[in-house]
Amino acid sequence: MSSDVSKAHTLGQRLIENIERVIVDKDRVIRQTVTAVLVGGHILFEDVPGVGKTMLCRALAKSIGGKFSRLQCTPDLLPSDLLGATIYERQSGEFKFRPGPVFSNLLLADEVNRATPKMQSALLECMEEHQATVGGTTHPLPEPFIVVATQNPIEYEGTFPLPEAQLDRFSIKLRMGYPSPQAEAQMLEDQQLAHPLESLEPICQAEEIRAAMKAVHAVHVEANVRQYIVAIVDATRCHPQVLLGASPRASQTIYRLAQAQAVLDNRNFVIPDDVQSIAPSALSHRLLLRDSELGDSEQVERVVAEILAQVKVP
């Protein structure tokens, strides 16, 4: 076992344990969130209000010691509110660039579907190329750069649904779901005197995340597992209910996420179970179904589950 993989495993487990101090009874969601962080992937949380989407994002941000920015998306936001602007300073007589909130290691875009298409287009370049162009000048973003976005799937008035091109840039889409009665009662007890988020401390720095990402890339993937990933993605393009299947970017994303899953299990090789566990979250937001209502996530998830059941496991 490589020492780099062991360090990345330890880092991942510490992140999970730290977030679990705030978010109760959401082991799978927290694990997959950390999985995406270990590959520098962007994360989309889609669920009803009040189930802890933003709280999980804030717990993740406090766990990582890098720069954190939050953007509350509204229809009146301009691209400059995200990217920053070049401003003339009278004292120096020069134009100087003042960076916006996107220049951070972790950007929380709350209610991202309330941002206008122009705003979403500005974010698209940042997510894909890790750079921002302002006034004809391109500025690199810090590394790692991770966007964690939230959106409400049942509220459509005053929203702008994310286009397929932007959805494809998110590595995974997660749903929190309601807590169990026992977990909800535990949450009330934990928050009686103070919220656990207030006492949360960083457990790593941005440099450690970058090192963990390099370790994940070194995890071995057999040829038959690579073919398995490609077969799953290809099946989304042939399914009779699917109008728009997953792109090659989905194959690359599942490949990386499966490597990160292996690291969290303290392995330096990927097994088919890693692919199966992460594929639904990596595919559900990338597929467009025929005769499907906007936001029908459950139907998409059923199609993905059907595809996983049909593709032969190596």
Q: Tens-of-pLDDT digits for all 314 residues of the chain?
A: 678 899 999 999 999 999 999 988 899 999 999 999 999 999 999 888 888 888 898 899 899 988 899 999 989 989 999 999 888 788 877 888 889 999 999 999 999 989 888 888 889 989 999 999 888 889 999 999 999 999 887 666 667 888 888 899 999 999 988 888 888 888 888 888 788 888 888 999 889 999 999 999 999 999 999 999 999 999 999 989 888 889 999 999 999 999 999 999 999 999 999 999 999 999 999 998 887 654 567 788 899 999 999 999 98
Round the CA-based radius of gyration of the chain to a whole number and report it. 20
Give the residue from 231, 300, 308, 250 showing the smallest Cα distance to 277: 308
For the domain made up of 1-205, the CATH class stated in words is alpha beta
Does domain 219-314 correspond to CATH entry 1.10.8.80? yes
Give the residue from 32, 81, 75, 26 showing the smallest Cα distance to 55: 26
pLDDT for the residue 54: 86
- CATH 1.10.8.80 domain locations along the chain: 219-314
- Dihedrals phi, psi of 264, to nearest 5 degrees: -65, -25
- CATH 3.40.50.300 domain locations along the chain: 1-205
Q: Centre a 10 Å sphere on the Cβ of residue 29 and count the other Cβ atoms it contains.
A: 21
pLDDT for the residue 30: 95
